[in-house]
Amino acid sequence: MGRADDRQRILLISSAIFIVLVITLTLSLKRSTGFQWILSGLTVGSIYALIAMGFSVIYSSTRVINFAQGEFSMLGGMLMYSISVKGGVPPWIGFILSVLIVTLVGAGLERVAIHPLKEQSVIAVIIVTIGLAIFLRALAKWIWGTDPVKIASFSGDKPLRFLGASIVPQSFWVFGFTVIAVVLVFIFFNRTLVGKGIRAAAMNKDAASLVGVSSSTSSLLAWTIAAALGASAGIVIAPINFAAYNVGIMLGLKGFTAAVLGGLGSFPGAVAGGLVLGVLEMITAGVVPSGYKDAVAFVILILVLLIRPQGLLGKSEDVKV
Amino acid sequence: MFKKSTIGLLIACVCLLVAVSIGAVGCGSGNKVDASKSVYKIGAVLSLTGPAAPLGTSEQKALTMFQDELNSGAGVDGHKVEFVIVDDQSVPEQAKAAITKLINQEGVSAVIGTSSTGATLAMVPVAQQNKIPMICCAAGTAITDPVKSYVFRTPPTDRMAITKVLEYLKNKLKVSKIAILHDSNAFGTGGADELAARAPKYGIQIVANESYGSTDTDMTPQLTKIKVTPAQALVVWGTNPGPASIAKNMQQLSITIPYIGSHGIANQKFIELAGPAANGVVLPAGRMLIPASIPANSEWRKLVDTFYTNFKAKYQSNPDTFAGHGYDAGLLITDAMKTAGTDKTKLQEAIQSTNGVVGIDGVFTYSPSNHDGLTTSDLIMIKIQNGTWTEEK
């Protein structure tokens, strides 16, 4: 036990040192150029972090990895386009309406497709989420067509400059939203009775139901929260990302990688994982003369799964039989 | 003997008879599809979903419109024409499966398709083996170079677009150092390789050659690298939405060197996505995008004007260049069918001897050594100003 703990600590510290080293090296060698990469990386990383949080919400409540998480963000962005850009409804009402609709969709899907599988293995449910993702994508394609659409930035496009780098105002919306989301979700799951109950149900269904926590309700709640989170993330990032029926795939994959990197089920881990992934990607895109920076995400994913499956900040779970 | 009135009646009768028979002949020979004649089936593999969907959807719209126009007239010599459209999902394997299915199960006599270079290249061997004429809507140089006997194309090639860009850089901008930023897919890499290979002949040096992934949304890392090079212009080779992100990122980083795009962004979507950042972007495109650039009163201009009117009436939007590629593919095959019918070998010969047929993209002339149809002069350079296209002379 003690030896394994030590090994993990060493791994954690060395990976932290590695990341700090990469950033310092980049900054010292490239100065303002390197700073720009890191700034861009933090923006992209916040996007990944938001998606990763959705993964973590459902995982920590039901042990299910929801591969339709990216599609919630896609739906959020596309609905925002229909309601506010096409429909002319004020953006903040459009935001609330879009999130509300996606939340209902999330809750509905849980009742229709996930709930009936409560006696099935987690793997079966995960496979169903892949099916849901394909279904939502096809639905979006049918409704909105295949062209990417533009949603205006919340507060203009005039870039802000400092230290030789520049950043678009929308990035601050993404940063701010990430902070608010992580705080709210963290408080909900760690400080409220309902949140604690949900986590208890995930650890032991039967024991939780004995003390009055229904695993069926907690699964519904988790999906509702994850859908709301995904949708609002999708809307906040749409001005940077462009919304399109197929953006959910890449968002989902990157978000999943960030969640695994940070430790599935850990909310601070999701944020850390997202930011680290974003910064490493952008530095790679700048240093390596190629467009294959996506490979970084997947190499990291494989390495983490091989070396430290519980992620950077996740606790190792010893399941005793 | 005969009363005058009787003669008058007789003449009137003869007149009526002649009029009716002329009318009947008119109907029978030129204006209607003859139901007793066999239907000419033409397959069309198009990318209706996946990354190339915006291209495929335009092509499908134009092709459907062409089919309706044709069948509301006389079809091909009275034969009704049917385009059997299959989606390849922008995936090469699917494109290959689709053409095989069209040949074996639908029994089509020619095939149109497909929208992207990668998927088209997967269809080429099938068309060659089955000796079935195929006209594609993709621009990759490798499709017709070297020439494959049964494979033709309608769009201007990437090579023509690159020639146009290099001429523009040399003659108009008079620059000697450029940077390239390209999509890492087949279109982007192919274009960048060709640009890099031919630039020296125009006295142009490539000082940076960067790439990005098709789904990337932030290209500031590549652009910051380019910013510190002595590049006097940036050539971006890719399709939406990447180049729109690049235009926005350039504005963000205050990079002011000219942005020259590819013909892959010659659509309204690019302007919509990039917003004000699209202003000043210059790109090569078919003349049909700006009908005013086509000589007035020419047959070509008349066809394009009618095409715009009909397309707008049917789909409530302006056609883009891809719509032109799809329309021309249908036009060229049915034109060849007028002389060759559905015999595949004769059809191949008829398409290959197409000479001066006026389409939307230009005036087509194929030969045994040239299956491209168009020439560089069918292209113009276009500048985006205040959200609209203007010809950059």
pLDDT tens column, A263-285: 888 888 888 899 989 988 888 88
CA–CA dist A106, A233 (Å, integer): 14
Provide the terminal-to-terminal Cα distance of chain A, rounded to the nearest Å.
17
* pLDDT single digits (tens) A91-119: 899 999 999 999 999 999 999 998 888 88
Range of the domain at A218: 38-307
Query: Per-residue pLDDT tens for A67-97?
Result: 999 999 999 999 999 998 888 889 899 999 9
ipTM for this model = 0.76
What is the largest distance, in Å, between two alpha-carbon atoms of chain A? 61
CATH of the domain at A50: 1.10.3470
d(CA A59, CA A56): 5
The burial class, CB within 10 Å (0-12 / 13-18 / 19+), for B35 is exposed
pLDDT of residue B13: 52
Cβ B91 vs Cβ B119: under 8 Å = yes
Residue A312 located in a structural domain: no
- Higher confidence at residue A300 or residue B182? B182
Full-model pTM? 0.77
Q: Which residues of B310-348 are buried (b: 16+ CB within 10 A; e: fewer)?
A: bbeeeeeeebbbbbbbbbbbbbbbbbbbeebbbebeebb
Confidence at residue B59, expressed as pLDDT on a 0 to 100 scale? 95
Q: Is residue A317 part of a domain?
A: no
Q: What is the pLDDT of residue A199?
A: 82
Substitution target from A47, A48, A147, A160 for chain B, most B beta carbons within 10 A: A147
Q: How confident is the model at residue A196, as a pLDDT?
A: 86
* For range A240-247, the mean pLDDT: 88
- For residue B59, list chain A residues with Cβ-Cβ distance below 8 A: none
Whether A19 is in a domain gets the answer no
Per-chain mean pLDDT for chain A: 84
Question: Hey, do B40-157+295-377 and B159-291+380-391 end up sharing a CATH topology, with the first three levels equal?
Answer: yes
How much of chain A, in percent, has pLDDT values that exceed 90?
A: 31
A123-166 confidence digits (pLDDT tens)? 889 999 999 999 999 999 889 887 888 888 888 888 888 777 88
B46 versus A25: the higher-pLDDT residue is: B46
Q: Which residues of A25-38 are buried (b: 16+ CB within 10 A; e: fewer)?
A: ebeeebebbbbbbb
Check if CATH label 3.40.50.2300 holds for domain B40-157+295-377: yes
- Stronger pLDDT, B282 or A22, i.e. the higher one: B282
State yes or no: pLDDT of A321 exceeds 80.
no
- Chain A interface, best mutation among B218, B225, B254, B279, by max A CB count within 10 A: B218
Asked if the model's pLDDT at residue A2 lies above 60, the reply is no
> How do the domains of chain B map onto residue ranges?
40-157+295-377, 159-291+380-391
A161 inside domain? yes
Please name the helix (run of DSSP H) or strand (run of DSSP E) that holds residue A160, with its range, or none. Answer: strand A160-162
The tokens for B27 are: 């109907």
The one-digit pLDDT tens for each residue of chain B (393 residues) are 455 556 555 555 555 555 544 444 444 445 778 888 889 999 999 999 877 888 899 999 999 999 999 999 888 989 999 999 999 988 999 999 999 999 999 999 999 989 988 899 999 999 999 999 999 999 888 899 889 999 999 999 888 999 999 999 999 999 999 999 999 887 898 899 999 999 999 999 999 999 988 878 888 888 988 988 999 999 999 988 899 999 999 998 989 999 999 988 888 889 989 989 999 999 999 899 889 889 988 999 999 999 999 999 999 988 988 999 999 999 999 999 999 988 989 999 999 999 999 999 999 999 999 999 999 888 999 999 998 889 988
pLDDT band at residue A288, thresholds of 50, 70 and 90? confident
pLDDT per position as a tens digit, A196-225: 888 888 777 777 777 777 878 888 999 999
| Angle (nearest 5°) at CA A112 between A108 and A116 | 135
Contact list in A for residue B217 (CB cut-off 8 A) is 44, 240-242
Distance CA A169, CA B214 (A): 24
| The pLDDT of residue B25 | 44
Domain count, chain A: 1
With an 8 Å Cβ cutoff, the interface of chain B facing chain A consists of: 48-51, 53-54, 57, 182-184, 188, 209-213, 215-222, 224-225, 227-228, 240-241, 244-245, 248, 251-254, 269, 272-273, 275-277
Residues of B in contact with A241 (CB under 8 A): 217
pLDDT of residue A306: 83
DSSP A37: H
Give the burial string for B214-235 (b: 16+ CB within 10 Å, else e): bbbbbbbbbbbbbbebebbbbb
Interface residues on A facing B, Cβ-Cβ cutoff 8 A: 33, 36-37, 40, 43-44, 141, 145-150, 157, 159, 166-168, 240-242, 244, 246-247, 249-250, 282-283, 285-286, 289-294
Domain B159-291+380-391 listed as CATH 3.40.50.2300: yes
Q: Which residues contact B287 (CB under 8 A, 6 or more apart)?
A: B293, B294, B362, B378, B379, B380
Q: Has residue A286 been placed in a domain?
A: yes
